[in-house]
Amino acid sequence: MIKSMTAYGRGEVEAPGQKWVVELRSLNHRFLELSLNLPKRLWALEDQVRKLIKSRINRGRVEMQLTWESVGEKSLILRLDQNLVQEVRSVLADLQAAGEIQEPLRLDHFLRFADLLVTKEGESQELEESWDTVSQAISQALEILDGMRLTEGAALAADLASHLELLRRESARIAAQAVSLPELWREKVSARLAEVLQEGGPLDEGRLAQEVALLAERRDVSEELARLESHVSQFQQALEGQGAVGRKMEFLLQEMLREANTIGSKAGDLLISQAVLEIKGALERLREQVQNIE
């Protein structure tokens, strides 16, 4: 079953003293691109977060927001970095002397240095324990996200199947019309030769057959129709298959368009030209929808 690249998922897990919330949003993108917003104290877990998301998603832009809040007793403790305080005091004193500033140092001067106050995690929230909880929240969000992607993918599959059926019908029309073309060309060539001769004498059947054969060879579209049908069959298989198939579908649509253009330029027939226009319209609608598929 194909999957859409557009979806949303949310996971929420409580641990002793804290509640973790993960929100995931996936959007269309040619490749897999991850945008992660993690609390500073969990930056060391970024690689693990990326691996977990990549294990479930193959294509699209995925944005993740991880937030937490304290529940019950405080899980974080503020402490003062005494060594940094002394370094800041020394730097500010040097600045006073260099600028001949008489203003005394105040508390707000120190508070401009954000790293003076740092958080110290409680023993119950070590990094690995945090990962155990965070990974559960991410997995929850991924499960919901994946479910929505499947639901949207089913709707896309139904729409794609209808356009694919139209394409098959028009391809069959072209094949049926192509069978009758040699006789039509024979009539046209015969009339044209009669005009050229202008004497009303009998036409040279050998020459007429030769002209029709040459015309048929130049305008034969059987190979293009066979390749078009092959691409349609492969597209159908991808539609019914598993995994990331969006890029394969994009390639197949390009090849179908190539064959349709060749058929239109070679056939030289009004009915076939009309069918080619219908095919190109269906291909454009397919292309727009395939851009949403993983």
Q: Which amino acid is at 233?
A: S
* pLDDT band at residue 147 under the 50/70/90 scheme: very high
* Residue from 156, 138, 157, 150 nearest 7 by CA: 150
**Cβ 250 vs Cβ 2: under 8 Å:** no
Q: Where do the domains of the chain lie?
A: 7-74+124-150, 80-121, 155-290
* The residue to which tokens 């958080």 are assigned: 119
* pLDDT band at residue 238 under the 50/70/90 scheme: very high
Cα separations (Å) of 90 from 84, 94, 95, 100, 193? 10, 6, 9, 15, 105
Tokens of 264: 């239109």
* Residue from 67, 46, 111 nearest 85 by CA: 111
DSSP 98: H
Q: Which of 3-17, 70-84, 102-116 has the lowest mean pLDDT?
A: 70-84
Per-residue pLDDT, averaged over 234-248, amounts to 91
Per-residue pLDDT, averaged over 258-267, amounts to 89
Q: What is the pLDDT of residue 200?
A: 54
Q: What is the pLDDT of residue 122?
A: 46
The residue among 190 and 87 whose pLDDT is bigger is: 87
The full length of the chain comes to 294
The residue among 233 and 211 whose pLDDT is bigger is: 233
> How many whole angstroms from its chain centre is CA 163?
20
Instruction: Classify domain 7-74+124-150 at the CATH topology level.
Output: Ribosomal Protein S5; domain 2 (3.30.230)
DSSP state string for 119-173: EEE-GGG-HHHHHHHHHHHHHHHHHHHHHHHHHHHHHHHHHHHHHHHHHHHHHHH
* Residue from 262, 250, 201 nearest 2 by CA: 250
What is the C-alpha separation between 175 and 264, in angstroms, rounded?
Answer: 13
Share of the chain above pLDDT 90, in %: 51
Q: Which of 34-43, 118-127, 153-162, 268-277 has the lowest mean pLDDT?
A: 118-127
Q: Which amino acid is at 278?
A: E
Q: What is the pLDDT of residue 24?
A: 97
Q: What is the pLDDT of residue 123?
A: 39
Backbone angles phi, psi at 102, to 5 degrees: -90, -15
**Is residue 36 within a helix (H) or strand (E), and if so which, with residue range?**
strand 32-37
Other CB atoms within 10 A of residue 179 CB: 9
Q: Does the pLDDT of residue 151 top 80, yes or no?
A: yes
**Cβ 5 vs Cβ 27: under 8 Å:** yes
Helix residue spans in the chain (DSSP H)? 46-54, 82-99, 107-111, 127-197, 205-219, 222-240, 246-267, 270-290
